[in-house]
Structure 1
Amino acid sequence: MATFDASRMLSFDLETTSTDPATARIVTSALVRIDGKEVTATEELADPGVEIPEAAAAIHGITTNKARAEGRDHDEVLRETVEAIKQGWEDGLTLVVFNAPYDLSVLRALTGDFTVTGPVYDPLVIDRARDRRRGKRTLSDMAQHYGVRLDNAHEATSDAMAAARIAWKQVRSLWPDLAEMNEGELMEYQAVQFYRHAVSLRQFLAGKGKSVDDFNLSWPMIG
Structure 2
Amino acid sequence: MSWIDGPMLGFDTETTGISPHNDRIVTAAVIRRQGAAVDVREWLIDPGIEIPARATEVHGITTEKAQSEGATPADALEEIAAALADALGAGIPVVGFNVQYDLTILEAELARHGLRTLAQRLPQGIRPIIDPLVLDRHLDKYRKGKRKLIDMCGTYRVQVVADDLHAADADVLATLDLVPAIAERYPSLSTVALQDLHDQQAAAHSAWANRFRAWLISKGTTDDLPSPEWPVANAAAEADDADTPALF
TM-score range, shorter chain: over 0.9
Q: CA RMSD in A?
A: 1.7
- The one-letter code of the counterpart of 1:127 is D
Residue 131 (structure 2) aligns with: 122
Residue 42 (structure 2) aligns with: 43
Query: Does 2:209 align with 1:198?
Result: yes
Residue 154 (structure 1) aligns with: 166
DSSP 3-state at the match of 1:43 = strand
Structure scoring higher RCO (CA < 8 A, sep ≥ 6) equals 1
1:69-84 pair list within 5 angstroms: 69-84=68-83
- The one-letter code of the counterpart of 2:103 is L
Residue 59 (structure 2) aligns with: 60
TM normalised by structure 1 equals 0.93
CA distance in 2, matches of 1:168, 1:11: 13
CA-CA distance at 1:214 after TM superposition = 5.4
Q: After the TM superposition, which of the residue ranges 11-20 and 108-117 deviates more from structure 2? A: 108-117
CA distance in 2, matches of 1:96, 1:183: 12
TM normalised by structure 2 equals 0.84
CA distance in 2, matches of 1:214, 1:145: 26
CA-CA distance at 1:117 after TM superposition = 3.5
The C-alpha deviation readout for 1:32-73, integer Å capped at 9, x for no partner, is 111233111121111111100111111001000111111111
DSSP 3-state at the match of 1:5 = helix
| Structure 2 runs not aligned, ≥5 long | 112-116, 120-124, 235-248
CA-CA distance at 1:189 after TM superposition = 0.7
The C-alpha deviation readout for 1:95-130, integer Å capped at 9, x for no partner, is 001112100001111112322443100000001011
The C-alpha deviation readout for 1:161-202, integer Å capped at 9, x for no partner, is 00000012112x111211211122111110111111111111
DSSP 3-state at the match of 1:72 = coil
CA distance in 1, matches of 2:17, 2:5: 31
Percent identity, aligned pairs only, is: 36
Residue 180 (structure 2) aligns with: 168
CA distance in 1, matches of 2:223, 2:47: 30
CA-CA distance at 1:89 after TM superposition = 2.1
CA distance in 2, matches of 1:177, 1:125: 16
Q: Matched residue pairs, number?
A: 221
- Partners of 1:6 and 1:167 within 8 A in 2: no
DSSP 3-state at the match of 1:47 = coil
Residue 196 (structure 2) aligns with: 185
